[in-house]
Structure 1
């Protein structure tokens, strides 16, 4: 990979001081950032092998981090349903799923994510050894979380045993780009033994734990009726809360649950677009952040969101907090950007490696073309600029020009450098039609999430 210099760029470092370099330079050496600063402060190395001159028309940001996603070949096929109605139909995919489906689902989703500036994804899915192969093909950084469910009738998901095997075979593989977590599908899908296994594995192997909770009001009410306690209290009883645990959604939390998450150091993966689309509600993000909870940003995958564009998710996260409080200043642009970068890195336990543009960190970064109608005009006034606001409220994944992961340019001029996209998409289309045909046979198996 050698030494690459990016110059004449507007650089948003997202460091502790949110440092901005209007005429910035970044030096990449192999898989690391060697230097970041203003053009006046950086002495260019003598052994530069590649130079990208942004000519003042590109912004550079850290690679975006999607902290909760589910790969899928399906999009726009299960619509106009709330969560508890939607879930049984979503499960038809898993009843019919093969490992070849999982591979092409990962290829599809990882390619979409990379082209939209996401360099790291937390993927909760199945047959994740095939998803690891897909990540290797495209050059994406992934955190793989098997869908573990061991309640009777849920044998079409992963098991604690397959999760353990994936940890043993793939954790910290591909030069550290692949991490494996212990994944728990839901309180209604997992026995207390699965929660105990998750904690044991996390402690023994140094891996993390991920699950869903409190996505819809009716779901929380069903948990209370069935178990006699609120979800976060149950997680505490089961021993999975802690700094190595991240819980997706957390829309319907009360003050005691927020305090319990904060006191234990448990993180939250916020999925604003999916929560809005499934009519789940608006999560109390500001209350969580004020309590000291790390909150990252997730898409939740194409089947519930229809988009893996974290620029869209940043905008949605900010707007939902504003409109729910009638406060136009709630969750400003810089906070949304931090959620999609450094806060996501903290949730993953990778903030020492990714999430900001600082010397010594991994060279995961994104170049956006500002010279486009939706991001123009560019305005500077007294050292301040409208660019940040436009990155959060106007940018789209299609504005992404170049993406580096581990110092390698994996997207150039909006296209993958690793695969021929047209050929890949043809294979994905064939695989999807085959999956839909197989899925038809399982439509008679629809059962509610909570048995009456």
Structure 2
């Protein structure tokens, strides 16, 4: 069926891709035409969006959905203090806890206009994809392996992570909303042997390789003490970095490492709010992007961030760079919007289907209720998307041509019942 969305302000995610009084023609899951409403083709059904703004679905390149039940358990401390504080919670997380967390996370992300997320866990590699698919959101999910001698809380999770991931891949075969990866937690929590084994397994299965990298100054100290070099150079020397590597954080990189990283083709998931909350630092994103490194935005977990809001990340990605550099031109709204949409799609290797609203791409879009007092123009709309907009402006979320959320209601689930079930479960646990 061909559906025409009309009377809208289109921000299609391409450079200068703004059309006032626009229309989008969708056939099944796919966008087949965009342009001025006055030139729109005939369609069987027409929906008038009353002048609202339409943008590509936002892409969260790094999250830990399963931890969402523990939101607010540690709001102070740097990365390693934080990890020690949350260890009593995370070390006893069951697969049921993980599912509860994923349900909360996916619902929050969809409400916030996120249509695709890369999720990380230690156990239950297929749980996030199960939950996201049921709600209608896209996911790149998997698990991060770690070495027991370096991470002593909980049990070893390799090769279980591979087994769970392969099971999820079989379960979701043919499901266009689901993709998977294999990953390792970090250079400081894994041996060289494990890192190489996980990367080789990812290559064998044709999957991306995900890892936290250069997240804190202390990480650099640990890796330098063990291996005589920096985390980035160590991974590069092990042959782990290529165009299918997704690196979360990458804060503590020098100029030479940025150039080296650019040569590998690896991409970066930038988490400005979480990095700031944990006092980890500010990633050199302008230098990375200038070197040709593809960068997307991520929220990290609700334990290190408290919210799963890419609008917030867009704004923070600009403000932190300007505040730290004292340069008001170092990055702008166009940069942030690109990282939240088309560049995020490239980070996840999904640019063939999502990230922009152009013919041939999947119809993953968000309808925003934005109305500038002086009238909507390209500059004003882009400014509002990045500096003003938030979840409160999201009116509708569509994935693959299907509306999964509109006017505060989910199409495929009873969100109230899910939340009530989760609250009832933890109400009977004294330590919760």
**Normalising by structure 2, what TM-score?**
0.94
1:308 counterpart SS class: coil
Gaps of 5+ in 2: none
Aligned to 1:322: 322
1:112 counterpart SS class: helix
TM-superposition CA deviations, 1:142-165 (whole Å, max 9, x none): 111202112335473663322222
Aligned to 1:445: none
Aligned to 1:115: 111
Give matches, 1:61-80, under 5 Å.
Answer: 61-71=55-65, 72=67, 73-80=69-76
Q: Deviation of residue 428 (structure 1)?
A: 2.1
Aligned CA distance change for structure 1 residues 54 and 128 (closer, same or farther; 3 Å): same
Gaps of 5+ in 1: 439-452
| Stretch deviating more after TM superposition (87-96 or 235-244) | 87-96
Give matches, 1:53-64, under 5 Å.
Answer: 53-56=48-51, 58-64=52-58
Separation in 2, partners of 1:193, 1:216:
23
Aligned to 1:355: 355
TM-superposition CA deviations, 1:41-80 (whole Å, max 9, x none): 32122x33xx321221x10000000000011211111111
Aligned to 2:32: 34
Question: In 2, are the aligned partners of 1:36 and 1:358 still within 8 Å (CA)?
Answer: yes
Aligned to 2:19: 21
Separation in 2, partners of 1:174, 1:428:
30
Question: In 2, are the aligned partners of 1:60 and 1:365 still within 8 Å (CA)?
Answer: yes
Aligned CA distance change for structure 1 residues 156 and 173 (closer, same or farther; 3 Å): farther
Q: Deviation of residue 354 (structure 1)?
A: 0.3
Aligned to 1:166: 164
Residues 1:142 and 2:139 are matched in the alignment: yes
Q: Deviation of residue 221 (structure 1)?
A: 1.8
Q: Deviation of residue 136 (structure 1)?
A: 2.4
Give matches, 1:178-197, under 5 Å.
Answer: 178-197=178-197
TM-superposition CA deviations, 1:171-204 (whole Å, max 9, x none): 3636221111111111222122221122212221
Aligned to 2:203: 203
2:251 counterpart SS class: coil
Give matches, 1:233-244, under 5 Å.
Answer: 233-244=233-244
Separation in 2, partners of 1:396, 1:411:
16
| Stretch deviating more after TM superposition (171-180 or 321-330) | 171-180
Residues 1:91 and 2:90 are matched in the alignment: no
Q: Deviation of residue 241 (structure 1)?
A: 0.3
Question: In 1, are the aligned partners of 2:210 and 2:247 still within 8 Å (CA)?
Answer: yes
TM-superposition CA deviations, 1:391-431 (whole Å, max 9, x none): 10010112100001111100011321112222111122234
Q: Deviation of residue 237 (structure 1)?
A: 1.8
Q: Deviation of residue 436 (structure 1)?
A: 7.2
Separation in 2, partners of 1:69, 1:392:
20
Separation in 2, partners of 1:162, 1:434:
30
Separation in 1, partners of 2:89, 2:426:
11
Count of aligned residue pairs for this structure pair: 426
Separation in 1, partners of 2:356, 2:155:
35
Separation in 2, partners of 1:241, 1:311:
29
1:128 counterpart SS class: coil
Q: Deviation of residue 434 (structure 1)?
A: 5.9
Aligned CA distance change for structure 1 residues 295 and 9 (closer, same or farther; 3 Å): same
Residues 1:106 and 2:102 are matched in the alignment: yes
Question: In 2, are the aligned partners of 1:378 and 1:385 still within 8 Å (CA)?
Answer: no
2:47 counterpart SS class: strand
Separation in 2, partners of 1:78, 1:337:
30
Separation in 2, partners of 1:245, 1:433:
41
